[in-house]
């Protein structure tokens, strides 16, 4: 019962934070520098790991598909399988998971440490709302950067699949036919659905991580616990939301 | 509460009304633990009020109530008759708190720490901000520290930067949480002098939470002593020099008894 109450409390405080941050959206133009800094942290610094993982996920997908599909002569469809899987599911989910692990944890650690060491209290007494200065630029940067990361994840994943398809002996499909099949069985809506999912996951991850950070009380030990909780809650939410958004977009 | 005396702006020499603080029947519990028990006191406009008490007696919690960071379990705190917890109070009354550990923004330089309030509230343009920040740094003898980061500062410098950051807000109410803790005696005296000078020059209402007996006796106009969440003394520094209450005397002038140490008395 106590845990259930705590879940409802967290949900309530997250919504309250969202409303508060949203009420300051008009201040975003004069927070340009903070927005750009967060875009750099969320987008640019996450890009290399997104690219590496996408490349190998696309490659492994092509390898597994090629191995399984060669037995019933369907390996020419690898392009569509890799393309659809990356765009509709693996790209957005992988970007969101990386965001939770890399950016979300850093956000929680930073905000929790600011809370524990009274920097957040100092902001409040200066009449500078933390939702405006600490949360809004991060949410806006997530909205701007996550779709870009998802598109790059899709493209790199497709490219990884194409390389495996060409150079692995038992597959041996030329990139031209790989991408021709990919184009034939994919529509723009597949990519768009993936981007909607990525955008939703990214926004929720950043919001939840900000809220957990700002609600941290205690000392250094609680900062570590807050980071762990933020990552775990984010991962659960990504997978739960994934089901419902996928269902809604079908 | 008496009529407000004016607070002089350290940067423009303009006068704004000083503020008074009224605490009425304030109690605060954290779970089952009663931290503050029915506290009633007032701080007059332009006064230096020092709140003393042993560690864990609720001094910092009381300070957080004054600045609106905690909501009372019972009773109320008002600043110029406005509820301290209301967000609008912070818009109407400029109050600044110097936290025990400074609470400087670690990712910002000293200059940017001081400029943050002015930039966020668009008080003036960058040239004006520079002027105000450098003036505050000069008042606190910190001109050479402008480009340093908090991690590069000594404990005493951090406290002075925190005071300078509060000063650029041109506050009507200044609160200090243990401003002389962890400092050597000379630096403690320096900080005490700074607090008194700021009050004397700019007539800022000042509340100081401290263990420091010398600070209280030398700069306070009135002193309160909290013990176990209750206010056990409220009076002038002169009354504190020869306290009648044995609890107050024992707190302020504890005897070091090597033959019968306190920890052994507690064991029996």
Model confidence pLDDT, tens digit, residues B4-14: 455 555 555 55
Rounded to the nearest angstrom, the minimum Cα separation between A46 and chain B is 21
B104, A121: Cβ pair inside 8 Å? Answer: no
Residue from the list B69, B95, B121 with its beta carbon closest to the beta carbon of A121? B69
A125, B67: Cβ pair inside 8 Å? Answer: yes
- Which residue in chain A has the smallest CA separation from B166? A126
- Which residue in chain A has the smallest CA separation from B95? A125
Rounded to the nearest angstrom, the minimum Cα separation between A219 and chain B is 13
- Which residue in chain B has the smallest CA separation from A111? B105
The whole-angstrom distance between residue A114's C-alpha and the CA centroid of its chain comes to 24
Per-domain residue ranges of chain B: 6-94+173-267, 104-169
Residue B3 DSSP symbol: P
Half-sphere exposure of A124 (CA within 13 A, CB side): 19
Phi, psi angles (nearest 5°) of residue B81: 65, 15
B97, A121: Cβ pair inside 8 Å? Answer: yes
**The pLDDT of residue B12:** 53
Q: Which residues pair with B224 in a beta bridge?
A: B51, B234
Taking the C-alpha atoms of residue B150 and residue B169, their distance in angstroms, rounded to an integer, is: 19
A118, B99: Cβ pair inside 8 Å? Answer: yes
Taking the C-alpha atoms of residue B201 and residue B174, their distance in angstroms, rounded to an integer, is: 13
Residue A135 DSSP symbol: I
Among A residues 62-121, those touching chain B with beta carbons less than 8 Å apart:
114, 117-119, 121
**The pLDDT of residue B1:** 43
Rounded to the nearest angstrom, the minimum Cα separation between A71 and chain B is 59
B interface with A, Cβ–Cβ below 8 Å: 64, 67-69, 90-91, 95-97, 99, 101, 103-106, 116-117, 120-121, 169
B120, A133: Cβ pair inside 8 Å? Answer: yes
Rounded to the nearest angstrom, the minimum Cα separation between A166 and chain B is 49
Please report residues of A whose CB lies closer than 8 A to that of B119: none
Mean pLDDT by 10 residues, chain A (250 residues): 86 95 95 96 95 96 91 86 94 96 96 95 93 97 96 96 93 92 92 96 97 93 96 96 94
Report yes or no for ipTM above 0.90. no
Count of Cβ atoms closer than 10 Å to residue B134 Cβ = 15
Residue from the list B96, B104, B116 with its beta carbon closest to the beta carbon of A125? B96
A125, B97: Cβ pair inside 8 Å? Answer: yes
Rounded to the nearest angstrom, the minimum Cα separation between A122 and chain B is 7
Half-sphere exposure of B109 (CA within 13 A, CB side): 11
Q: Is A16 on the interface with B (CB under 8 A)?
A: no
Residue from the list B64, B103, B121 with its beta carbon closest to the beta carbon of A122? B103
Residue A173 structure tokens: 């499909």
Please report residues of B whose CB lies closer than 8 A to that of A114: 105
Phi, psi angles (nearest 5°) of residue B19: -115, 155
Q: How far from A135 is each of A17, A214, B197, CA to CA, in Å?
A: 8, 10, 38
Residue from the list B64, B69, B90 with its beta carbon closest to the beta carbon of A127? B90
Per-domain residue ranges of chain A: 33-249
Chain A interface, best mutation among B99, B163, B165, B166, by max A CB count within 10 A: B99
**The pLDDT of residue B6:** 59
pLDDT, mean over chain B: 88
Mean pLDDT by 10 residues, chain B (268 residues): 51 67 94 92 93 91 93 94 88 89 92 95 93 91 92 90 91 92 85 87 90 90 93 92 86 83 72
CB pairs < 8 Å spanning A and B: 44
B97, A119: Cβ pair inside 8 Å? Answer: no
A127, B91: Cβ pair inside 8 Å? Answer: yes
Rounded to the nearest angstrom, the minimum Cα separation between A117 and chain B is 6
A125, B104: Cβ pair inside 8 Å? Answer: no
- Helices A91-98 and A136-167 pack at an angle, to 10 degrees, of 130
Residue from the list B69, B95, B103 with its beta carbon closest to the beta carbon of A119? B103
Class of domain B6-94+173-267: alpha beta
Taking the C-alpha atoms of residue B222 and residue B235, their distance in angstroms, rounded to an integer, is: 5
- Which residue in chain B has the smallest CA separation from A130? B120
Rounded to the nearest angstrom, the minimum Cα separation between B206 and chain A is 15
Burial environment of residue B87 by CB neighbours within 10 A (0 to 12, 13 to 18, 19 or more): exposed
**The pLDDT of residue B2:** 42
């Amino acid at each position: 019962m106590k845990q259930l109450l705590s879940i409802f409390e967290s949900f309530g405080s997250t919504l309250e934070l969202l409303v508060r941050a949203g009420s300051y959206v008009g201040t975003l133009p004069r927070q340009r520098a903070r927005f750009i800094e967060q875009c750099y942290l969320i987008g640019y610094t996450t890009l290399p790991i997104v690219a590496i993982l996408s490349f190998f996920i696309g490659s492994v997908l092509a390898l597994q598909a090629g191995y399984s599909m060669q037995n019933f002569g369907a390996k020419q469809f690898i392009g569509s399988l890799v393309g659809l899987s990356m765009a509709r599911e693996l790209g957005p989910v992988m970007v969101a998971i990386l965001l939770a692990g890399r950016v979300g944890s850093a956000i929680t650690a930073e905000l929790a440490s600011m809370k524990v060491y009274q920097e957040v209290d100092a902001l409040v007494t200066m009449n500078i709302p933390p939702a405006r200065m600490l949360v809004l630029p991060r949410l806006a940067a997530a909205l701007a950067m996550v779709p870009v990361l998802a598109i790059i994840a899709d493209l790199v994943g497709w490219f990884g699949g194409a390389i495996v398809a060409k150079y692995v002996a038992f597959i041996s499909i030329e990139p031209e036919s790989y991408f021709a099949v990919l184009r034939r069985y994919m529509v723009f809506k597949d990519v768009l659905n993936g981007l909607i999912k990525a955008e939703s996951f990214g926004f929720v991850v950043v919001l939840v991580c900000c809220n957990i950070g700002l609600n941290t009380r205690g000392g250094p030990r609680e900062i570590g616990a807050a980071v762990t909780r933020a990552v775990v809650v984010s991962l659960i939410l990504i997978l739960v939301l994934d089901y419902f958004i996928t269902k809604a977009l079908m | 509460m008496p009529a407000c005396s004016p607070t002089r702006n350290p940067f423009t020499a303009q006068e704004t009304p000083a503020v008074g603080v009224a605490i009425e029947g304030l109690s605060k519990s954290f779970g089952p633990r009663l931290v503050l028990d029915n506290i009633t006191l007032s701080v007059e406009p332009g006064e230096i009020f020092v709140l003393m008490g042993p560690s864990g007696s609720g001094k910092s919690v009381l300070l957080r109530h004054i600045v609106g960071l905690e909501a009372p379990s019972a009773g109320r705190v008002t600043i110029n008759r406005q509820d301290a917890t209301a967000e609008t109070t912070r818009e109407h009354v400029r109050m600044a708190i110097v936290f025990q550990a400074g609470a400087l923004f670690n990712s910002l330089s000293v200059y940017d720490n001081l400029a943050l309030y002015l930039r966020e509230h668009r008080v003036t343009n960058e040239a004006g901000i520079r002027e105000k920040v450098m003036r505050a740094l000069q008042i606190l003898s910190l001109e050479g520290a402008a480009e340093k980061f908090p991690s590069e500062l000594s404990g005493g410098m951090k406290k002075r930067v925190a005071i300078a950051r509060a000063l650029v807000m041109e506050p009507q109410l200044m609160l200090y949480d243990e401003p002389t803790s962890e400092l050597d005696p000379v630096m403690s005296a320096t900080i005490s002098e700074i607090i008194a000078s700021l009050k004397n020059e700019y007539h800022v209402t000042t509340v100081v939470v401290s263990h420091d007996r010398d600070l209280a006796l030398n700069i306070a106009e009135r002193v309160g002593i909290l013990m176990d969440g209750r206010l056990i003394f409220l009076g002038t520094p002169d009354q504190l020099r020869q306290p009648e209450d044995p609890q107050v005397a024992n707190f302020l002038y504890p005897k070091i008894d090597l033959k019968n140490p306190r920890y052994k008395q507690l064991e029996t």
